[in-house]
Structure 1
Amino acid sequence: MLTHDPDGRQLDSELLLHLVENVICSTLSDVSDAQSDANINVGSIDMIGSDEPLGCTIYKISHEILYRCFEQGNLHTKTMVLLEMVSHFRWDAKVVLVLAAFTTRYGIFWLIQQLHFDNVLALSLAILKRFPRDIMFDPKFKALISLINCLVKVTKLVEMMASLPVSHDHKAMATMNSNIYMATYWIIRSILECTSQITDPQSVRHEQVSLNAKIVAAWTLYSLGNKLNSLCHDLEEQIDTSLQAKLLTIFKEKHTDNQEVLHTLFSCKVELPFKDHSSQKKVDIFELKNKIVILLISKPELLPLDKLLFLVQQTYDHPKHKQIEENYAILWVPIPSANEWSLDEKRIFEVFSSSLPWFSVRQPWTLNSAVVNFIKQEWKLKEEPLMVVLDVNGMVTNSNAMDMVWIWGAKAFPFSISREKELWEKEKWSLELMTNGISPLLTNGVEEGRNLCIFGSENIDWIREFTAKMKKIKDAGIRLQLVYVGCRNSSNQTMQNILNIINQEQLSISLTSEKIHFFWFRLENIKSSIIHQENTDKIAKEVAEFLDFGENKEGWAVLGRGSSTDVIKLSVETVAELGFLGATEETLKTSFPSEPCNHTDLVPYEEGLIERSVNCGVCKRPMKKFVVYKCDVAAE
């Protein structure tokens, strides 16, 4: 702490660390998130407030490290000298600069090691520098690789902690600062030891003749690695605590854009945290700036295939998508039920993230545990997927827009709670609401205002009889489209058998089994969405009744026209009535009046009358049944 004397110099330590990882990743296959193929604008990595270029500073530090390796004295004193050299920088800049200086020599060391078997120049350099010929099985170099891995990890954590917001909790801030100071010291001390192991020819020559020297060197490196791992655990705990506190407040604050919110959620451990669905390239958070972002949060397996296809249909393939695609983006955030990702879950994620037409978190297993816990607790992630909507300022406008997307698709843009309320205020119970977006076959018929009859049954004899009666109505000159939509909760095998017979005998038009699933699934989402709305009791009642109605495996039918609210339900019992044809013809010929009707018919009792369906002679709608008792006792 005594060596810390910042003078306002600023360094893009995040970008420099990113470049350092690119060098190290070629030698460490287990360094997380190595970006070897990322495009980095090295020219943009510079220091503000410094009299010399960044390259010159790195060279001086590298030279100082090398000089100290050949100098007599203890490691602590050498570490303090280096800390004094970088005293004018922030703590995150100190560790990144020293690590970058070490990497310039470490990279050359490994480059020569990789090439000296096939390249004469590399072989000559290896001989001049007295590098060992084969280090792959040397315990010292295994320990070195392990330590470098720890160095990268702890450096990233220090850089991350430096970007955390200042806390008003003085005790927490004191603990955090203490952890940063300790980590900085041990990072620089470890770098000095690593440099000594790869550049000091005297130590290399001594190890070539002494097995004990190799063991001591390996033990020293492993000890430093254990120390860094312990610090790593403390830093991660501190970051989790700070991040959790920030997450609880960030969605209550006002922001000018969504960048801070997205950075807090997704950019704590990984740079370029997203994958672009179209190019499969790694992209930065900036790509989503000024867009409404829908966080599609789910398990790695996301959804069953049929529902997944329907979701793509309602978003990417929706007719409205092209009009709004520049204004919003869907970001898939997979989170497993367990705390750790299995290999199968990672494989499933890779397949889906490369196939689905959305952005996805590129390495979701690196999400901070505080973020995962926040999503599970605050946004109540359970078994079913969520669609959390963030506006262009990063504020949550809908904690779950799944129902909206299932019902209206891209038409629901901007997917906010207020938009959902607005859509329901315009809706009415009609065939249009029931069938919208399921299939062009249904949608076109509804939009053109055609008479439409949708029906379902698992009884093929009933279907034959019903379609024959409907054909008579059509033959009478009434334009009517007949579409089979199955029954709710039918088995796939039963449904497919019925569809095969209908198509073979050309009994009617039918939806595919996939579209039939969509039809019933969408109705269930209408029921789920509407219970949270006001002044929609009629629609809620109708959809609940219709879902129950659709359970009738013997047979049912619904008739209507376009967006008209005049919808007639016919069950197997009423369809079997002899008077069905006449009643249906009248229904289709006449538009129902919207005003109430109080017409009454008194009919003398006869056998079977109670079970019979009767339509009103005035408004043509089905009449309610009442029993009237009349006293016939004559007066004396």
Structure 2
Amino acid sequence: MDSQYEMVWIPIVDRSIELTEPMKEKFESLQTSMPWFTVYHPSLIEKAVIRFIKEVWHFRNKPILVVLDPQGRVVSPNALHMMWIWGSNAFPFTSSREESLWRQETWRLELLVDGIDPVILNWIEEGKYIFLYGGDDVEWVRKFTNTARGVALAARIPLEMVYVGKSSKREQVRRVMATIAVEKLSHTWQDLTMIWFFWTRLESMLFSKIQLGKIDEHDPMMQEIKKLLSYDREGGWAVLSKGTEVVVNGHGTTVLPTLLEYDLWKENVPVKGFDLAFQEHHGKLHDIAHPCCRFDFPMTAGRIPVTMKCPECHRTMERFSTFLCCHDEGIPDVLFQ
């Protein structure tokens, strides 16, 4: 597909900051490392063009990929999201292609893990029960995995578990991963790039839906994506699937108690199957607990919805302004975008 499109990098800089020699060297290094075309120097970009890119294309210091057709018409305001989700299958990267790909999708485990981990794809092929889980609390992880293993043994089902970390707090995630490895609690992704890619794809799903205007409560897949991203902000969580079919997408405050109360619903397992029995009991606890939902949109995200409805109770959520300092992640250098 390389010959069917061309890429051009337009480096937008903060003109209030004087370019020092180290900055110039960094720009030149970035420029020479890129296989595509670039504007020769940021100073050649007129202020009116920068204003247009910010106001019309919603650029907010975070890279966007605007797609133009051969006539110069915008066919996607930002194709990065669909690239993260579907890769080269998203070609020609138009909004209509994005809509078409979503129409073909279902809420399944392959959508979440893509080709990140072939081991999980093998488990899916074998029809195993799979817990995809995350969080940064070592004690919760230890209790969850040990309880899940005990329930699987009692129910006589093949169960696998994989830890996928968090979208932030890398140091805490590293510590949890180390504990999981030492105590052999479950499968885990040792490469943090895999964890980063998992969360980047999931966030891309949210922004892709927002970009297409699919943010209401009538889109079931959007509700599941919103739930998972929200759970990541507040403690532990787990997604249970049977093969590729997602059975439960739940917060730690409901998933773990469901497992701990196995004696209350184990009689339903032979009759309804483990997946349906688990789902029903989890639903009862969920109706009582109603985990809170929270979303954090950085001001650099570009298109941010004016309102959002909670994926749990479907009420319109309150909106807050937050100032967040997180030394664990490091502040990304947004001088050249």
Q: TM-score, normalised by structure 1?
A: 0.39
Report the alpha carbon displacement of residue 507 of structure 1 after superposing the two structures with TM.
1.5
Q: Does 1:363 align with 2:21?
A: no
8 Å Cα contact 2:147/2:259 also seen in 1: no
For residue 550 of structure 1, give the secondary structure of its aligned residue in structure 2. Answer: helix
Matches for 1:124-203 after TM superposition, within 5 Å:
none
Residues 220-246 of structure 1 show CA distances to partners (whole Å, capped at 9, x for unaligned) of xxxxxxxxxxxxxxxxxxxxxxxxxxx
Query: 1:551 maps to which residue?
Result: 233
1:382 to 60, 65, 89: 60
User: RMSD value over aligned CA atoms?
Assistant: 3.6
Distance 1:455 1:588 in 2: 24
Shift in CA distance, 413/422, structure 1 to aligned 2, threshold 3 Å: same
Q: Report if the CA contact (8 A) 1:389-1:416 is conserved.
A: yes
In the alignment, residue 547 of structure 1 is paired with which amino acid?
L
The answer as to whether partners of 2:142 and 2:185 remain within 8 angstroms in 1 is yes
Taking structure 1 as reference, are residues 506 and 330 closer, same or farther at Cα in structure 2, changes over 3 Å only? farther
SS of residue paired to 2:193: helix
Other-structure match for 2:248:
567
| Consecutive unaligned residues in structure 1, runs of 5 or more | 1-323, 593-612, 628-636
Q: Which amino acid aligns with 2:165?
A: G
State how far apart, in whole Å, the 2-side matches of 1:461 and 1:361 are. Answer: 49
Residue correspondence of structure 1 range 93-492 to structure 2 within 5 A: 324-338=1-15, 342-343=19-20, 344-356=22-34, 358-361=35-38, 363-365=40-42, 367-369=44-46, 370-446=48-124, 449-472=127-150, 475=153, 477-489=156-168, 491-492=169-170
Question: What's the offset of the Cα at 1:591?
Answer: 6.5
Identity of aligned residues (%): 31
1:182 corresponds to which residue? Answer: none
How many residue pairs are counted as aligned between the two chains? Answer: 278
- Distance (Å, rounded) in 2 between the aligned partners of 1:522 and 1:584: 36
Which is richer in helix? Answer: 1
Residue 576 (structure 1) aligned to one of 260, 281, 284: 260
What SS does structure 2 have at the residue aligned with 1:411?
A: helix
- One-letter identity of the residue aligned with 1:550: D
Q: Secondary structure at the match of 1:419?
A: helix
Deviations 1:328-363 (A, max 9, x none): 34332211121777133332222223334x303151
Partner of 1:136: none
Pick the aligned partner of 1:513 from 180, 185, 192. Answer: 192
User: What CA distance in whole angstroms lies between the structure 1 residues aligned with 2:51 and 2:231?
Assistant: 41
Measured at CA, do residues 510 and 440 of structure 1 come closer, stay the same or move farther in structure 2, by a change above 3 Å?
A: same
- Cα distance in 2 for partners of 1:625, 1:497 equals 30
Q: Contact conserved, 1:429 with 1:539, CA < 8 A, in 2?
A: yes
Relative distance call for 1:487 and 1:339 in structure 2 (3 A) is closer
Q: Which moved more, 1:395-404 or 1:343-352?
A: 343-352
Whichever residue aligns with residue 516 of structure 1, its letter is I
Distance 1:402 1:583, change over 3 A: farther
8 Å contact from structure 2 (residues 240, 246) kept in 1: no
CA displacement at 1:442 relative to structure 2: 3.9
Cα contact 2:69–2:75 (8 A) shared by 1: yes
Counterpart check, 1:527 vs 2:206: yes
Ranges in structure 2 where 5+ consecutive residues have no aligned partner: 289-337
CA spacing shift, 1:556–1:342, aligned 2, 3 Å: same
Corresponding residue for residue 293 of structure 2? none
Contact 2:109 2:241 in 1 (8 A): yes
CA contact (8 A) 1:449 1:561 kept: yes
Using the TM superposition, give the Cα deviation of residue 398 of structure 1 relative to its aligned residue in structure 2, in angstroms. 0.8
Match of 1:146 in 2: none
Q: Structure 1 residues 456 and 614 mapped into 2: Cα distance closer, same or farther (>3 Å)?
A: closer
User: Per-residue deviation at 1:378?
Assistant: 3.2
For 1:482, what is the secondary structure of its paired residue? strand
Amino acid at match of 1:560: S
- AA at the equivalent of 2:130: L
Judge conservation of contact 2:180–2:186 (CA < 8 Å) in 1: yes
Q: Is the 8 A contact 2:106 2:221 kept in 1?
A: yes
* CA pair 380-578 structure 1, distance change in 2 beyond 3 A: closer
Q: 1:503 to 1:572 in 2, by over 3 A?
A: same
Name the CA distance, whole Å, in 1 between partners of 2:271 and 2:198. Answer: 25
Greater relative CO (CA pairs within 8 A, separation 6+): 2
Contact 2:224–2:249 (8 Å) recurs in 1: no
Kept after mapping to 1: 8 A contact 2:129/2:241: yes
1:493 aligns with 2:171: yes
Distance 1:400 1:473, change over 3 A: same
* Structure 1 residues 85-143: Cα deviation after superposition (integer angstroms, max 9, x where no partner): xxxxxxxxxxxxxxxxxxxxxxxxxxxxxxxxxxxxxxxxxxxxxxxxxxxxxxxxxxx
Which residue of structure 1 lines up, in the alignment, with residue 328 of structure 2?
none
C-alpha separation in 2, matches of 1:626 and 1:449? 29
The DSSP-based 3-state class of the residue aligned with 2:9 is: strand
Identify if the C-alpha distance between structure 1 residues 411 and 590 changes in structure 2 by more than 3 Å, giving closer, same or farther. farther
Matched residues in 2 for 1:387 and 1:465: separation?
43
Q: What's the CA shift for 1:446? A: 4.4
Structure 1 residues 626, 492: closer, same or farther in 2, change over 3 A?
closer
